[in-house]
Amino acid sequence: MAEGGLHSRFRLAREIAEEASSFLLSHESLRLSTRTKAENDYVTEADRAVEGMIRQSIGRAFPGDPVYGEEFGGDTGGRSRWIIDPIDGTVNFMTSFPDYTVSIAYEDEHGLAFGVVAVPRQHEVFSAFRGEGAFLNGSQIHTDESGDTSRTLALLVPPHRHHEMLDGYIVRMRRFYEIISDVRSIGSAALSLCYVACGRASMYYETALHIYDCAAGIVIVREAGGMVTLLSDDEAWLDIAASSAAAHRKMLETIDG
């Protein structure tokens, strides 16, 4: 696709993310309409409503574009597709914890082309287009490349849906304490990636994610100067390590032990 076509999709993605953000802020009461999809895996009326809105807007502007989303599935591996998560951090939304996001990405034959992550409660929108840098509310952002991780945060999220994997993760988590100041666990993969992108944390490590949780955030980290390694390549089970470029080797060594 010509760059013009991609840029108009990027513009649309930013508009949609803002609309979805306003909708979620004014419909937070929908958090009470929760259903359980699987153990520790929930969906609210808001997840479905927002995915419907996003699909409608894409369909109106670009009929025929394949869309892959968490709630309604769709195209999983074509050459070009939208990858959307209407609410990343559903448990946060459900419990009124403020860290939930709307995540919209686009992938073409060269890989991930752009990503937009809106954070309704913080009135923040992160976005990045391949080769053009990463932005937070219009200002360019960069990873923390100071190289000294001892005063920075690592975002570590134990595998809460796979308790059999907890022990191994906690051993790795213990090693992280040797190289960083402290640990946080946000509960939205998209937001965790954005926090690495803008230097609020220097590392993020989580396992067993889906591509829609992290596609937009991956572009944003890379365009902010950081590095992302996918430690597994199954898009329904992604183990992800993201950090500043300066800290990436140290991070991978810490995971490997």
CB nearer to Ca ion: pick between 180 and 214: 214
Minimum separation from the CB atom of position 2 to ligand 2AM (A): 32
Q: Which does 41 bind (CB under 5 to 8 A by kind): Ca ion, ligand 2AM, none?
A: ligand 2AM
- Does residue 249 bind ligand 2AM (CB under 6 A)? no
Q: Is 51 one of the binding residues for Ca ion (CB under 5 A)?
A: no
At its nearest, how many Å lie between ligand 2AM and the CB of residue 65?
A: 22
Q: Is 157 in the site for ligand 2AM (CB under 6 A)?
A: yes
Q: CA nearest 70: which of 32, 28, 42?
A: 42
- Compute CA distances 107 → 81, 157, 162, 246, whole Å: 5, 26, 29, 27
Shortest CB 103 distance to ligand 2AM, Å:
8
Which residues in 57-86 contact Ca ion (CB under 5 A)?
70, 85
Q: Which of 11, 35, 110, 161 binds ligand 2AM (CB under 6 A)?
A: 161
Closest CB 103 distance from Ca ion, rounded Å = 8
Q: Which is nearer to Ca ion, 70 or 107 (CB)?
A: 70
Which 179-198 residues touch ligand 2AM, going by CB under 6 A?
A: 187-189
37 vs 123 by CB, closer to ligand 2AM: 37
Label each residue of the chain as H, E or C. Answer: CCHHHHHHHHHHHHHHHHHHHHHHHHCHHHHHCEEEEECCEEEEHHHHHHHHHHHHHHHHHCCCCCEEECCCEECCCCCCEEEEEEEECHHHHHHCCCCCEEEEEEEECCEEEEEEEEEHHHCEEEEEECCCCEEECCEEECCCCCCCHHHCEEEEECCCCCHHHHHHHHHHHHHHCCCCCEEECCCCHHHHHHHHHCCCCCEEEEEEECHHHHHHHHHHHHHCCCEEEECCCECCEEEEEEECCCCHHHHHHHHHC
Place of tokens 């998560």: 85
Give the contact letters, 44-73, x = binds to ligand 2AM (CB under 6 A), - = no.
--------------------------x---
Position 209 contacts ligand 2AM (CB under 6 A)? yes
Q: Does 99 bind Ca ion (CB under 5 A)?
A: no
CB 193, min distance to ligand 2AM, A:
10
Total site size for ligand 2AM, rule CB under 6 A: 16
Residues forming contacts to Ca ion in the complex (CB under 5 A) are 70, 85, 87
